Every structure is written in structure tokens, then in C-alpha cells.
């Protein structure tokens, strides 16, 4: 629940930063860029721009693994960090 | 290996660092190359890809000791048309190591042990490497090994005696080996970074060493700018290289780009190793980096190991890249 409401906030990235949680871009570079590319245009993983997914769907994908293709971040990243990542992905147009 | 390796020694600016002709200095090969270090000078010889070939045997017999670099095993990766058995190709690489005429003193694994930094992937790698005939294995992490937990699993299993995020140094037969970590803080432009703490540690580690000490540096992402457009380089790598500039023989071994490349700048020789899991495109030869589909039956020509031999008193490192073909 907290994930969804947080991710729906357009200023989530900045809020995360202010609350001491690394911002979404930083988290993305550390955890996602090696597969999705530093520009999120996709390398081994898909291009994340213009995703036709809900925040909830993105959250679920980040939290749970995908049969050897993507690691499960639940338990590795905090709910706030996952929310920040969702918010960052939402900025990719 | 059928093609002759290019070794270009350019230093137009007399600064020990050649930027011009950079691309010319890169040798692209999916093959074997043996490096010898002698008296602070680095030499290399193109060798047959099969371990046990006469030239390789002779070189190894003359060497004071040898070690092997393996890289990018990406345990856990599986993709149809690329490689669905990375454990199997790692086993083949191990078999190549075990078939060398003399067992290497140690193995350097230059990162991306795993694909998703999962506990079972680290465990699989650990189990597979138990069959390598060598005394010790040294690791540095790749960015795939530190995903999600800032490298905790990696450090718990493979970096217990290291400092900071996993850096350390050791000496062997008069050579000073330095393992660096440049994957913990990927920059906005996608490049790796060492960070000021590690650079300060490196400065201290080198401070009292004689300039005659042969140095071998190993890290995952190339310390030099191989192809910044794809993030193939280290943002603050030049600071580390500046600290190494006074040494007469420096060898930098990296992985990450899944292909062999060699460049010589002054007394510094840069070398990148093949992966044991999958190939990546040559810089700029594809829209983006990433696992590359290989024609059926050709995968093993793009995977391999790097054997390094040191001849004490001659100051020569001989490096041989061998494919799994």
C-alpha cells in the first residue's frame, strides 16, 4: 500500500532524496543500469521508456524475480527505495 | 588464433599516455595471447588457442610462475541463441586451465561471477571453482555481483579479507598485485568509478614501493576509456593510472567487455579478457552493448581464458588468451 501511494506521487524522487533514501536515478544506476543501460534505453533488459504499465505492475516486477532474467529486489531494497525506482521509471518518457 | 595480434607502442605526447591512435592500439581477437613480463618490459606472443601447444608449453616451462585470468562467468545467465549453459562453458574453461602443462599459482576472476547476485549463483560458482587445479583464487566484483545489496553477498563469500567495497593487494614472486573495485558507484554516464577512498588507499599502498616493482592491477570495468559511449571505462581511472605512472612495468587486467583487447601506453599494458559465458559486440558495431547472438556452433570461439606467465629476473609477463574452441 505504501508503495503504491508513494509511487503515485510525482515528486517522489525528490521526497525520497530528502528523506534519506537514495533518489531513483541513483538507485537505477546502481541496480538496474547494467541490464537496462545507463540511459534506460535497454541493453540486455528492455527499454524502460514509455512503459505501458501501472505503478503497481512495475512495483511487482521490481519486487519479484523473473525466471532468471531479473533479480528479485524485495528484501534487498526497502519499500521506499523500490518506490523511488518506480517513480524514476515513471519519469522516462 | 589465426590473426596476428597488433601491438602498437605510441607515445606521441611523451606523457606515457597515448590518446591519439587509440583505436589503432586496440587489438580485437577472440583468441589466445601469452604475455611475458621481463625487467619491467612487457612482451606478448600470439599463441595457438589450444593449451598444450608447443609454443605455449615452452613459454610456461620457462616461466617462474603463471596465473590465469578468467572473467564474466555470469552464473545464472541463460538465453536461447546466446548461451543456455554458462556453468557448462565455465567447466570447459576450468578444464582448459587444468590441462595447462604447469598448474597456475592462482586464478584471478575479474568480476561478474554471477548474473543476478543471487545466493545460489554465488554458491554454484564457488562449487565449480573447487575443481580448478590451483592454490588460490582472487576475485574482484563486477556490477552484476553487487546488485541490490551493495555487494554484501559477494563480500561475505569472496571478499572477506578485502578493504572497503572489496579492494586489496598482495605480493607474489616480487610482483605487486592490486585488486580494485569500480562497480559500486556507476556514474550518470554509465562509466564505472573507484571513488576517492579507494584512490587514497591506492596512493598509500603504492607510496613506499620501488618504481622497479612490477605491478599488476585487476578490476572489472576497464580502467581506461575503451568506449565511453557504452560506459566501457572508469570515470576516475586516470587518477589511479597517474599513481601508477612512475612504475616501470604495469599490467592492467580487466573484464566487462567480454572480448580481448590490448593497448600499450608507455610502461602500462592494458588487457581485457574474454568471458566464459557470452560475447558482446565490438564497440560501435551494434546499437548497444549486451549479450550477442552468435552463429550456431561458434560460441566457444568467443569465450576463453587468459594465461599469464612471469619470468623472474627477466621482468617479462607473457599473456596468452585462449578460446574454448
CA of B142, closest CA in chain A: separation in Å?
Answer: 10
Q: Which stretch of A3-12, A73-82, B116-125, B156-165 has the lowest confidence by average pLDDT?
A: A3-12
Report DSSP state, residue B151.
T
Domain ranges of chain A: 2-90
With respect to residue B22, please indicate whether it lies within any of the assigned structural domains.
no
CATH match of A2-90 with 1.20.120.450 = no
Taking an 8 Å cut-off on Cβ atoms, the answer to whether B290 and A31 are in contact is no
Alpha carbon A82 to chain centroid distance? Answer: 6
Q: What is the pLDDT of residue B62?
A: 64
Contact (Cβ atoms closer than 8 angstroms) between residue A24 and residue A87: yes
Judge: A34–B289 Cβ closer than 8 Å, yes or no.
no
User: Which residues in chain B touch residue A41, judged by CB atoms under 8 angstroms apart?
Assistant: 288
pLDDT of residue B9: 27
Q: Indicate the angle between helix axes B86-98 and B119-129, nearest 10 degrees.
A: 20
- pTM for this structure? 0.82
Residue B72 domain flag: no
The domain containing residue B316 runs over which residues?
Answer: 98-323
Inside any domain, residue B93: no
**pLDDT over 90 for what percent of chain A?**
55
Q: Which of B28, B36, B37, B38 is nearest to B4 (CA)?
A: B28
Q: B114 CB contacts (<8 Å, ≥6 apart)?
A: B73, B74, B75, B76, B121, B122, B125, B144, B145
Question: What is the per-residue pLDDT for A20?
Answer: 58
pLDDT tens for each residue of B249-283: 999 999 999 999 989 998 899 999 999 999 999 99
Check residue B47 and give its pLDDT.
37
Judging contacts by C-beta atoms under 8 Å, the chain B residues touching residue A37 are 190, 288
DSSP B218-287: E-SS-SS-SBGGGTBSBTTHHHHHHHHTTSS-EEEEE-SSSSBEEEEETTEEEEE--BSS---PPTTSSS
C-alpha cell at B164: 572497503
CA dihedral B123, B126, B130, B135 (to 10 degrees): -150
Nearest chain A residue to B145, by CA = A31
CA distance A63 to A58: 9
Q: What is the model's pLDDT at position B172? A: 93
- From B77, B187, B288, residue closest to A42, measured CB to CB: B288
pLDDT band at B20 (very low <50, low <70, confident <90, very high): very low
**Interface ipTM above 0.85:** no
The reported pLDDT for the residue numbered A21 is 62
Instruction: Assign B78 a pLDDT band (cuts: 50, 70, 90).
Output: very high
Mutate to test the interface with B, among A71, A73, A85 (most CBs of B within 10 A): A71
Q: How many structural domains are present in chain B?
A: 1
B10-24, B188-202, B258-272: which range is least confident on average? B10-24
What secondary structure does DSSP assign to B159-218, as a single string?
-TT-BTTTBEEEEETTEEEEE----SS--TTS-B---HHHHHHHHHHHHTS-TTS-EEEE
pLDDT over 60 (residue B174): yes
Q: What is the CATH number of the domain that holds B179?
A: 3.60.21.10
Cβ distance of A68 and B291 shorter than 8 Å: no
Q: Do B186 and A33 touch (CB under 8 A)?
A: yes
Distance, in Å, from the CA atom of B182 to the CA atom of B167, rounded to the nearest integer, reads 9
User: What tens digit of pLDDT does each residue of A17-58 get?
Assistant: 445 566 899 999 999 999 999 999 998 889 999 889 999 999
CA angle A12, A17, A23 (to 5 degrees): 75
Amino acid at each position: 500500500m505504501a508503495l503504491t501511494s508513494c509511487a503515485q506521487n510525482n515528486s517522489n524522487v525528490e521526497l525520497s532524496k530528502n528523506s534519506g533514501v537514495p533518489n531513483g536515478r541513483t538507485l537505477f544506476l546502481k541496480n538496474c543500469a547494467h541490464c537496462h543501460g545507463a540511459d534506460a534505453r535497454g541493453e540486455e533488459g528492455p527499454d524502460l521508456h514509455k512503459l505501458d504499465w501501472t505503478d503497481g505492475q512495475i512495483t511487482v516486477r521490481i519486487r519479484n524475480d523473473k525466471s532468471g532474467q531479473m533479480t528479485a529486489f524485495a528484501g534487498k531494497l526497502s519499500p521506499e527505495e523500490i518506490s523511488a525506482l518506480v517513480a524514476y521509471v515513471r519519469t522516462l518518457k | 588464433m589465426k590473426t596476428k595480434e597488433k601491438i602498437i607502442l605510441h607515445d606521441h605526447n611523451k606523457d606515457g599516455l597515448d590518446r591519439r591512435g587509440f583505436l589503432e592500439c586496440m587489438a580485437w581477437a577472440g583468441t589466445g595471447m601469452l604475455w611475458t613480463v621481463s625487467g619491467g618490459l612487457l612482451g606478448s606472443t600470439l599463441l595457438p588457442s589450444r593449451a598444450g601447444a608447443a609454443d605455449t608449453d615452452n613459454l610456461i616451462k620457462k616461466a617462474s610462475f603463471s596465473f590465469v585470468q578468467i572473467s564474466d562467468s555470469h552464473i545464472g545467465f541463460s538465453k536461447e541463441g546466446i548461451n543456455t549453459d554458462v556453468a557448462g562453458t565455465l567447466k570447459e574453461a576450468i578444464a582448459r586451465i587444468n590441462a595447462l602443462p604447469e598448474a597456475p599459482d592462482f586464478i584471478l576472476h575479474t568480476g561478474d561471477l554471477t548474473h543476478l547476485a543471487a545466493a545460489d549463483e554465488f554458491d554454484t560458482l564457488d562449487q565449480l571453482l573447487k575443481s580448478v587445479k590451483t592454490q588460490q583464487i582472487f576475485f574482484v566484483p563486477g556490477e552484476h555481483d553487487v546488485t541490490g545489496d551493495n555487494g554484501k553477498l559477494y563480500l561475505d563469500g569472496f571478499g572477506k579479507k578485502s578493504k572497503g567495497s572489496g579492494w586489496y593487494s598482495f605480493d607474489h614472486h616480487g610482483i605487486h598485485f592490486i585488486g580494485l573495485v569500480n562497480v559500486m558507484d556507476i556514474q550518470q554516464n554509465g562509466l564505472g568509478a573507484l571513488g576517492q577512498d579507494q584512490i587514497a588507499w591506492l596512493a598509500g599502498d603504492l607510496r613506499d614501493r620501488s618504481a622497479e616493482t612490477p605491478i599488476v592491477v585487476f578490476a572489472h570495468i576497464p580502467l581506461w576509456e575503451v568506449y565511453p559511449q557504452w560506459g566501457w571505462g572508469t570515470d576516475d581511472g586516470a587518477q589511479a593510472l597517474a599513481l601508477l605512472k612512475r612504475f616501470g612495468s604495469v599490467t592492467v587486467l580487466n573484464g566487462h567487455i567480454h572480448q580481448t583487447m590490448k593497448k600499450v601506453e608507455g610502461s602500462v599494458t592494458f588487457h581485457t579478457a574474454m568471458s566464459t559465458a557470452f560475447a558482446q559486440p565490438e564497440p560501435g558495431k551494434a546499437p548497444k552493448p549486451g549479450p550477442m547472438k552468435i552463429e550456431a556452433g561458434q560460441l566457444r570461439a568467443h569465450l576463453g581464458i587468459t594465461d599469464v606467465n612471469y619470468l623472474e629476473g627477466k621482468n617479462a609477463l607473457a599473456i596468452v588468451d585462449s578460446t574454448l574452441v
